[in-house]
Chain A
């Protein structure tokens, strides 16, 4: 084919036709090597070559090739039906297989649906084949057809496997279904066929031998009976005629009863032709008698059985016994024609079976049936050339009447085996016996029919099984291929392993190979990514860690970055020991952090700020955030977290808070100074007076003591004012505890009242409910309220400065709202302009002049409230502004 394709590259259609013709011719030649399977059955394999090109040729070309190749059957079997059916078969497979169906399955389908009906019509109805042979032909043709497709598939597989890699990549690979079917069917069909090929001739030979054996026996028995009978009748007739002649009887009495049954009569004729004695007419013309007498009369001659033509009524040969005889010293012959059926009667009385289809023949020219013979078979015998007939004496002769075509199938069914043997005492005569081969052939064919039916059933089952199996396998393969494809990155160059001939395996292998290269590339990328990540983790000022989560709690630490040592001083190994975290955490922060990290749910991100003890002993403020993700294992989670050293920020925040407090103090300084100046003034004036009285000698002890008491009380008053200012001097160190909000508000008001009074601002605390408690540090809450009240006062002053003399009023309320504590601080100041409203909680945002504010107050208040789990928001009211703080109630 390679040559053909190279020679004719020009026009595709022309090229295809040429290829098809070359292929067909090759198939034809291959078909010449037929396989004899006995009893006239042939397997021919030329079409296997054609079927090997199902995937390579166009359907029309394939059909053309098959029709050329199948022409051999016309020459072999001398009828066109096999050729027609095989051509249709090739077309059927070629067209249906294009839709990815397995050719083997299509062929099985063909023989079930089309091939069998066509065979029944052509062989059965047109050629009138007998039922057994027809069934056998159907089974055999179907088997041959399927085997050819299977062989074709195997040739194609071999071609796929053997072709040089890279060449003919357009040849499609074989689907797993075809592969399985071809393999299974090849396993059973090829050995069976080979066995039949080897076994059939010997079986046929054995059958022939059996027939021959029977023939031989029949011949021996028949020959012996005939020989003996002729001799004995010759003797009996001789004795009888002797007696008749001795009494000079004219013969009118006729033959005695025992002879009369067998012979129609007897004549004694001398050599000259004169009748010496005769019974009544024996029905033989006198001329014939004379002729026989002249030939056989005289001593020294042997008893002879002649066959003469009847007296005209029938054209049948009549056997006549001629016995050389000495009558009255003259050589004569007793001539006794046998009665009709005498010989047959003779044989049927002795051994009827042996006489079947057995003939006596004189000089192999005439046949005398020794039994009731079928005239047709006699005609058949006479149709055989004499020389051939004679050869039956030495060897078996097979004859057949050819009723339909010259097919050996048909010949054999009607074949007869012929054998002849000489008859003792009758040199010119031979016993000629015919035996039909049909019983043996039928027996053999029955066996073959069983075999081929079994093969067909097997092929059908294999087709079904392989279809089913391959569907399942194909599905599995497709899933495998899908998995492999999933592994491979989209757009990866498709790798191929050319030696794999099964399409699905080829596809999977390609995808696995692609996946393999993808995986190795990804592994490289991953390694470099890992290196980069390690480097980042090592040098970043943060601790990256990963841990398993069990029962929603932190479990084993699976990874921790090297920054741990830089930030906290511990080695990775130390941090990995169980309980490290619980021991390192600041006792005050432990409960709070346990609440945060003690309920880790998949999909959540938790965070906390707490202190961890450095290996050297001091505490480091850290921000720890942990993202929890579901693990592949059910019920388990893993978490990746980051720990950041926030000591600096904490310190800065503390400083900022302090700065804010100082700013608040500055904002209250005039009020506070006034408040302090009052007692100081009293002390100064009173002390001055006492000194003056003392200088003048007016030392009235009672008056002195009373005035000193007054002085001391004013000292106490000053101290109390300073004491109220404690918020400005302290950094919060105590732990949160339930704090009464009203008490906190009151404490703040005590501090700010002097300033508010100074500014003429009234405070309304009528809606401050008592007993509303939140868990917090009182000092931090005071800072928040202080900021807000001072801001309110500033807003009122700003309105006053703008020329609006309306009395300033700050309304503070404390109330319980469901699970929240709510504090509102409202003023009737200038309010918040809408453009600054979103910015007011930003650090360093301020509307005040540089000396008047830091811009930290609201930002710090926001931070404090947020840390307590609350919210703070600002809004404008018709009068001014309102700040609302919601805090979780303390249980």
Chain B
């Protein structure tokens, strides 16, 4: 958590919040997004992720895992959507290792990437999502 907030603090205007309860991979994700030219914030605790997104209006895209210990990705998406102030729009991308996971109708339109994800497609999707928010 600490790491995340510090990192969030490092970058003035993070565009992307990445939520995954597997902490090991978060620095790699951040490095990956940075190399692609995106400012990002990392969060390993899905329960705090919504608040971080609310705190940083610059965040236009949340990439989340689905299967997480405390709160699953779908719930996070629904919670964040419910909390967003009027006029603010956040795009979502699901990045999961579970190929069989069932996704409910209300989030069915959200693009899903199966781990290990096709990086080029993922970057393309991030760009188009961010373009939609601006």
**When each residue 25-63 of chain B gets 1 if its CB lies under 8 Å from chain A and 0 otherwise, what string results?**
100110110010000000000000000000000000000
The answer to whether A677 and B97 touch (CB under 8 A), given A688-B119, A689-B35, is: yes
Q: Taking the complex as formed, is B67 at the interface, i.e. its CB lies under 8 A from any CB of chain A?
A: yes
Collect the chain A residues with CB atoms within 8 Å of residue B67's CB: 674, 757-758
Q: Taking the complex as formed, is A692 at the interface, i.e. its CB lies under 8 A from any CB of chain B?
A: yes
Q: Taking the complex as formed, is B100 at the interface, i.e. its CB lies under 8 A from any CB of chain A?
A: yes
Contact of B25 among A670, A676, A681, A692 (CB under 8 A): A681
Let me know if A689 and B99 touch, CB within 8 A: no
Collect the chain A residues with CB atoms within 8 Å of residue B87's CB: none
Collect the chain B residues with CB atoms within 8 Å of residue A669's CB: 100
CA distance A75 to B36 in the complex (A): 165
The answer to whether A685 and B28 touch (CB under 8 A), given A677-B115, A678-B22, is: yes
Let me know if B115 and A681 touch, CB within 8 A: yes
Collect the chain A residues with CB atoms within 8 Å of residue B35's CB: 689, 692-693, 696
Let me know if A682 and B98 touch, CB within 8 A: no
Collect the chain B residues with CB atoms within 8 Å of residue A675's CB: 97
Collect the chain B residues with CB atoms within 8 Å of residue A676's CB: 97
CB distance from A756 to the nearest CB of B (A): 12
The answer to whether A673 and B116 touch (CB under 8 A), given A686-B28, A689-B31, A758-B67, is: no
CB distance from A802 to the nearest CB of B (A): 15
CA distance A682 to B27 in the complex (A): 10
Q: Taking the complex as formed, is A463 at the interface, i.e. its CB lies under 8 A from any CB of chain B?
A: no
CA distance A281 to B24 in the complex (A): 201
Let me know if B24 and A710 touch, CB within 8 A: yes
CB distance from B124 to the nearest CB of A (A): 14
Which of chain A's residues has its CB closest to B66's CB?
A674
Interface members, chain A 689-713 (any B CB < 8 Å) = 689, 692-693, 696, 707, 710
Q: Taking the complex as formed, is A684 at the interface, i.e. its CB lies under 8 A from any CB of chain B?
A: yes
CA distance A680 to B99 in the complex (A): 13
CA distance A684 to B115 in the complex (A): 9
**When each residue 66-96 of chain B gets 1 if its CB lies under 8 Å from chain A and 0 otherwise, what string results?**
0100000000000000000000000000001
Let me know if A674 and B25 touch, CB within 8 A: no
CA distance A693 to B22 in the complex (A): 23
CA distance A710 to B23 in the complex (A): 12
Q: Taking the complex as formed, is B110 at the interface, i.e. its CB lies under 8 A from any CB of chain A?
A: no
Q: Taking the complex as formed, is B114 at the interface, i.e. its CB lies under 8 A from any CB of chain A?
A: yes
Collect the chain B residues with CB atoms within 8 Å of residue A673's CB: 97-100
Q: Taking the complex as formed, is A788 at the interface, i.e. its CB lies under 8 A from any CB of chain B?
A: no
Let me know if A684 and B117 touch, CB within 8 A: yes
The answer to whether A680 and B28 touch (CB under 8 A), given A670-B99, A674-B98, is: no
Contact of A674 among B29, B31, B97 (CB under 8 A): B97
Let me know if A681 and B117 touch, CB within 8 A: yes
Collect the chain A residues with CB atoms within 8 Å of residue B114's CB: 677
CA distance A692 to B115 in the complex (A): 19
CB distance from B75 to the nearest CB of A (A): 12
Q: Taking the complex as formed, is A683 at the interface, i.e. its CB lies under 8 A from any CB of chain B?
A: yes
CB distance from B11 to the nearest CB of A (A): 18
Let me know if B115 and A689 touch, CB within 8 A: no
CB distance from A805 to the nearest CB of B (A): 13
The answer to whether A680 and B115 touch (CB under 8 A), given A673-B97, A673-B98, A674-B97, is: yes
Let me know if B32 and A688 touch, CB within 8 A: yes
Collect the chain A residues with CB atoms within 8 Å of residue B29's CB: 685
CA distance A707 to B24 in the complex (A): 11
Let me know if B97 and A681 touch, CB within 8 A: yes
Let me know if B98 and A684 touch, CB within 8 A: no
Which of chain A's residues has its CB closest to B99's CB?
A673
**When each residue 106-132 of chain B gets 1 if its CB lies under 8 Å from chain A and 0 otherwise, what string results?**
000000001111010000000000000
Collect the chain B residues with CB atoms within 8 Å of residue A689's CB: 28, 31-32, 35
The size of the chain A interface, using a CB distance under 8 A, is 25
Contact of A758 among B22, B32, B98, B119 (CB under 8 A): B98
Collect the chain A residues with CB atoms within 8 Å of residue B97's CB: 673-678, 681
Contact of B116 among A670, A677, A692, A758 (CB under 8 A): A677
Q: Which of B35, B97, B100, B119 has the most CB of A within 10 A?
A: B97
CB distance from A286 to the nearest CB of B (A): 190
Collect the chain B residues with CB atoms within 8 Å of residue A714's CB: 24
Collect the chain A residues with CB atoms within 8 Å of residue B25's CB: 681-682, 685-686
Let me know if B119 and A670 touch, CB within 8 A: no
CA distance A25 to B128 in the complex (A): 151
CB distance from A849 to the nearest CB of B (A): 15
Collect the chain A residues with CB atoms within 8 Å of residue B32's CB: 685, 688-689, 692
Let me know if B98 and A670 touch, CB within 8 A: yes
Which of chain B's residues has its CB closest to A695's CB?
B35
CB distance from B102 to the nearest CB of A (A): 10
Collect the chain A residues with CB atoms within 8 Å of residue B115's CB: 677-678, 680-681, 684
**When each residue 650-674 of chain A gets 1 if its CB lies under 8 Å from chain B and 0 otherwise, what string results?**
0000000000000000000110011
Which of chain B's residues has its CB closest to A675's CB?
B97
Let me know if B99 and A682 touch, CB within 8 A: no
CA distance A696 to B36 in the complex (A): 12
Collect the chain B residues with CB atoms within 8 Å of residue A681's CB: 25, 97, 115-117
Which of chain B's residues has its CB closest to A676's CB?
B97
CA distance A676 to B114 in the complex (A): 12
CB distance from B101 to the nearest CB of A (A): 8
Collect the chain A residues with CB atoms within 8 Å of residue B117's CB: 681, 684
CB distance from B114 to the nearest CB of A (A): 7
CA distance A646 to B96 in the complex (A): 49
Collect the chain A residues with CB atoms within 8 Å of residue B116's CB: 677, 680-681, 683-685
CB distance from A699 to the nearest CB of B (A): 14
Which of chain B's residues has its CB closest to A757's CB?
B67
CB distance from A823 to the nearest CB of B (A): 29
Collect the chain A residues with CB atoms within 8 Å of residue B119's CB: 684-685, 688
Collect the chain B residues with CB atoms within 8 Å of residue A678's CB: 22, 97, 115
CB distance from A689 to the nearest CB of B (A): 5
Collect the chain B residues with CB atoms within 8 Å of residue A680's CB: 115-116
Which of chain A's residues has its CB closest to B29's CB?
A685
Which of chain B's residues has its CB closest to A688's CB?
B119
CA distance A688 to B118 in the complex (A): 10
**When each residue 542-572 of chain A gets 1 if its CB lies under 8 Å from chain B and 0 otherwise, what string results?**
0000000000000000000000000000000
Q: Which of B32, B116, B119 has the most CB of A within 10 A?
A: B116
CB distance from B49 to the nearest CB of A (A): 19
Which of chain B's residues has its CB closest to A717's CB?
B24
CA distance A689 to B31 in the complex (A): 7
CB distance from A848 to the nearest CB of B (A): 16
Collect the chain A residues with CB atoms within 8 Å of residue B28's CB: 682, 685-686, 689, 707, 710
Collect the chain B residues with CB atoms within 8 Å of residue A683's CB: 116
CA distance A676 to B99 in the complex (A): 11
CA distance A692 to B36 in the complex (A): 9
CB distance from A163 to the nearest CB of B (A): 106
Which of chain A's residues has its CB closest to B120's CB?
A688
CA distance A757 to B29 in the complex (A): 24
Collect the chain A residues with CB atoms within 8 Å of residue B100's CB: 669-670, 673
Collect the chain B residues with CB atoms within 8 Å of residue A758's CB: 67, 98, 101
CA distance A676 to B98 in the complex (A): 10
**When each residue 1-31 of chain B gets 1 if its CB lies under 8 Å from chain A and 0 otherwise, what string results?**
0000000000000000000001011001101
Collect the chain B residues with CB atoms within 8 Å of residue A757's CB: 67
CA distance A692 to B33 in the complex (A): 11
Interface members, chain A 835-876 (any B CB < 8 Å) = none
Which of chain B's residues has its CB closest to A681's CB?
B115
15 sampled A-B residue pairs with Cβ under 8 A: A669-B100, A673-B97, A674-B96, A676-B97, A677-B97, A677-B99, A677-B115, A677-B116, A678-B97, A681-B25, A682-B24, A685-B116, A693-B35, A707-B28, A710-B28
Which positions in B face A, CB cutoff 8 Å?
Answer: 22, 24-25, 28-29, 31-32, 35, 67, 96-101, 114-117, 119
Q: Contacts A681-B117, A682-B28 known; list 14 others, CB within 8 Å.
A: A674-B67, A677-B115, A678-B115, A680-B115, A681-B116, A682-B22, A684-B116, A684-B119, A685-B116, A685-B119, A686-B25, A689-B35, A714-B24, A757-B67
- 7 residue pairs, one from A and one from B, having the closest CB atoms: A677-B97, A681-B115, A684-B116, A670-B100, A681-B116, A677-B115, A674-B98
